[in-house]
């Protein structure tokens, strides 16, 4: 890689993605800076950075969302570039403009692209007008007075979505049109609360669909390639849990069609840097869902099968360099799966768990992207994801087996995790067969629960727990009074 025009980069994020970006930055010879709230002062990301800059806010999350403070601190520190990671301010056009206005390079797309694709309604119009497949829909902005009437005309089932935002917030599935009015009110209220924008649209909901996304890369010279697809159908409440590449549900022809559509959308938008075009797929048809104008949580599965370092490509593209390769250079080898390890109790409704990590040991021979280590305090201040386990194998069945073993070898003591739940998912016959859809977890509530423990194992664990308590150990080690009275006498 040729020399970059900037010598330092500030990471405006935290956790595993901050660690991942800093590692590539250091490999490229860049000085790595990071902003952090006080709760993250002792985190692996802060320890890895060459310089750490504290930011403040009423809550930890608010500090990471304070774009003005972050830009000011980055500028004062002399950072020459800024990488937003994902989440927080990564898809905030105003923030990207402020970064550039302060004289720094923004490691991401143009703010115009963020605005276009960040507004789901504008994005749908843009994509549909250029001939790409979009599901039948009704958009409130087109004619607010007839919105509900037009929505009913599409027919059930429907999906209600907010125009601004994502992550499942404000989304509602309506199978009974008699409930449409009420669900629209709820969706609008939630969208307003989370995004400050209550505008909605509805689209035809495809039952038991697959969620397929395509990684794209573009440069400022107009070159665009796709970096193949990822299967992201294993979700809970619209949040992805397991991702893999390639998708087990696409034929070779379908793979070409969906990937070329994604590249075409990015090309039409004049998009540069890394982005992801997402589709809903079912019954041999696919529809545009949205475009995320940032690095995705699940980007490591693409890196595993292609050998590309997507963060390094982001840096290179941001420097103004051309891609330097065409579509024919993108090749996949084997199969990769990513599993999101969460601090949560699946058996208790996936309730987030907290606590200090007393022991932490990652599995050998697999990639683990993590933002915690032994001694880290897991709180309710942020998303409960602790780490991502990325496994690569020669084929899907081998990769599933390696992934299950990796989860079994992963040691986290101090807070309960979803490792057992993930292993049960991997062992599920439908998952093993590649028969995936976004409702698979909801259809199998039994997967959330551990198998009943046999009496012998229960007794052993109770004994170990009892002997770990000081009063019990003292009582077990104590010499009975009758024997103590014998003094030092020996027979």
CB 378 within 8 A of CB 329: no
Residue 284: which pLDDT band, with cuts at 50, 70 and 90? confident
Residue 464: which pLDDT band, with cuts at 50, 70 and 90? confident
Query: How does the average pLDDT of the chain come out, rounded?
Result: 93
Residue 195 sits in a domain whose CATH number is 3.30.1490.20
Asked, for residue 168, whether it belongs to a domain, the answer is: yes
* DSSP letters for 250-271: --HHHHHHHHHHHHHHHHHTT-
Domain final residue pick, 149, 170, 204: 204
Residue 281 sits in a domain whose CATH number is 3.30.470.20
Residue 55 sits in a domain whose CATH number is 3.40.50.20
Asked if residue 217 and residue 191 are part of one domain, the reply reads no
Asked if residue 256 and residue 397 are part of one domain, the reply reads yes
Asked, for residue 469, whether it belongs to a domain, the answer is: no
Task: Tell me the sheet residues that pair with 273.
Answer: 218
The alpha carbon dihedral of 293, 295, 297, 299 has a sign of positive
Asked if residue 313 and residue 169 are part of one domain, the reply reads no
Domain around 355: 210-448
Q: Which of 134-138, 354-358, 485-489: highest mean pLDDT? A: 354-358
- Asked whether residue 167 carries a pLDDT value surpassing 70, the answer given is no
Asked if residue 274 and residue 396 are part of one domain, the reply reads yes
Asked, for residue 93, whether it belongs to a domain, the answer is: yes
Lowest mean pLDDT among 166-170, 306-310, 404-408: 166-170
Asked if residue 344 and residue 300 are part of one domain, the reply reads yes
pLDDT tens figures, 30-45:
999 999 999 999 999 9
Asked, for residue 408, whether it belongs to a domain, the answer is: yes
Give the predicted TM-score (pTM) of the model: 0.87
- Asked whether residue 168 carries a pLDDT value surpassing 60, the answer given is yes
pLDDT of residue 473: 74
Asked if residue 406 and residue 260 are part of one domain, the reply reads yes
pLDDT tens figures, 364-404:
999 999 999 999 999 999 999 999 999 999 999 999 999 99
- Asked whether residue 243 carries a pLDDT value surpassing 80, the answer given is yes
Q: How many domains does the chain have?
A: 3
Q: CB neighbours of 440 closer than 8 A, spacing ≥ 6? A: 233, 234, 428, 430, 431
Asked if residue 246 and residue 156 are part of one domain, the reply reads no
- The alpha-helical segments, DSSP class H, found in 275-340 are 299-306, 310-318
Asked, for residue 343, whether it belongs to a domain, the answer is: yes
Neighbours of 179 (CB within 10 A): 13
Phi, psi of 389 (to 5 degrees): -105, 120
Asked if residue 225 and residue 88 are part of one domain, the reply reads no
Asked, for residue 488, whether it belongs to a domain, the answer is: no
- Asked whether residue 222 carries a pLDDT value surpassing 70, the answer given is yes
pLDDT of residue 490: 63
Asked, for residue 231, whether it belongs to a domain, the answer is: yes
What DSSP character marks residue 230? E
- Asked whether residue 447 carries a pLDDT value surpassing 90, the answer given is yes
Asked if residue 419 and residue 350 are part of one domain, the reply reads yes
CB 36 within 8 A of CB 53: yes
Asked, for residue 171, whether it belongs to a domain, the answer is: yes
Task: Tell me the sheet residues that pair with 388.
Answer: 340, 369
Q: Quote the percentage of the chain above a pLDDT of 90.
A: 80
Asked if residue 184 and residue 74 are part of one domain, the reply reads no
Domain final residue pick, 410, 425, 448: 448
pLDDT of residue 393: 98
Asked if residue 189 and residue 100 are part of one domain, the reply reads no
pLDDT of residue 372: 97
Task: Tell me, letter by letter, the H, E, C secondary structure of 206-221.
Answer: CCCCEEEEEEEEECCC
Look up tokens 């939630």; give the residue. Answer: 190
Asked if residue 365 and residue 220 are part of one domain, the reply reads yes
Q: Quote the percentage of the chain above a pLDDT of 70.
A: 97
């Amino acid at each position: 890689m040729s020399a970059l025009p900037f010598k330092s980069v500030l990471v405006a994020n935290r956790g595993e993605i901050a660690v991942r970006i800093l590692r590539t930055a250091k490999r490229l010879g860049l000085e790595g800076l990071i902003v952090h709230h006080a709760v993250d002062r002792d985190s692996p990301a802060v320890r890895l950075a060459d310089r750490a800059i504290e930011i403040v806010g009423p809550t930890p999350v608010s500090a990471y969302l304070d774009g003005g403070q972050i830009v000011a601190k980055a500028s004062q520190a002399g950072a020459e570039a800024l990488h937003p990671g994902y989440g927080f301010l990564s898809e905030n056009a105003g923030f990207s403009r402020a970064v550039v206005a302060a004289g720094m390079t923004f490691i991401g797309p143009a703010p115009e692209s963020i605005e276009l694709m960040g507004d789901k309604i504008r994005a749908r119009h843009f994509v549909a007008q250029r001939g790409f497949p979009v599901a039948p829909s009704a958009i409130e902005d087109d004619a607010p007075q007839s919105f509900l009437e037009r929505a009913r005309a599409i027919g059930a089932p429907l999906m209600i979505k907010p125009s601004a935002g994502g992550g499942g917030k404000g989304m509602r599935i309506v199978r009974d049109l008699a409930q449409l009015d009420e669900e629209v009110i709820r969706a609008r209220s939630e969208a307003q609360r989370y995004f400050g924008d209550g505008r909605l649209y509805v689209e035809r909901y495809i039952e038991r669909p697959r969620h397929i996304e395509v990684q794209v890369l573009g440069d400022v010279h107009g070159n665009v390639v796709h970096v193949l697809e990822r299967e992201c159908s294993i979700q809970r409440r619209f949040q992805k849990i397991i991702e893999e590449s390639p998708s087990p549900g696409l034929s070779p022809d379908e793979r070409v069609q969906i990937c070329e559509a994604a590249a075409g959308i990015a090309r039409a938008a004049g998009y540069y840097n890394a982005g992801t075009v997402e589709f809903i797929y079912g019954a041999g048809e696919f529809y545009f869902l949205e475009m995320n104008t940032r690095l995705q949580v699940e980007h490591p599965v693409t890196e595993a099968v292609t050998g590309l370092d997507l963060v390094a490509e982001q840096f290179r593209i941001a420097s103004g360099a051309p891609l330097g390769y065409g579509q024919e250079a993108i090749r996949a080898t084997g199969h990769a799966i990513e599993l999101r390890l969460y601090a949560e109790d699946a058996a208790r409704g996936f309730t987030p768990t907290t606590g200090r990590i007393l022991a932490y040991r990652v599995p050998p021979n697999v990639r683990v992207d993590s933002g915690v280590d032994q001694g880290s305090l897991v709180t309710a201040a942020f998303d409960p994801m602790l780490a991502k386990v990325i496994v690569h194998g020669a084929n899907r069945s081998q990769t599933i087996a390696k992934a299950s073993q990796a989860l079994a070898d992963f040691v986290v003591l101090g807070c309960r995790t979803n490792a057992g739940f993930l292993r049960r998912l991997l062992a599920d016959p439908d998952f093993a067969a590649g028969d995936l859809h976004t409702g698979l977890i909801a259809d199998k509530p039994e997967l959330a629960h551990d198998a009943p423990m046999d009496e012998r194992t229960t007794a052993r664990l109770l004994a170990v727990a009892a002997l770990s308590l000081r009063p019990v150990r003292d009582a077990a080690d104590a010499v009975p009074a009758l024997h103590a009275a014998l003094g030092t006498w020996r027979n």
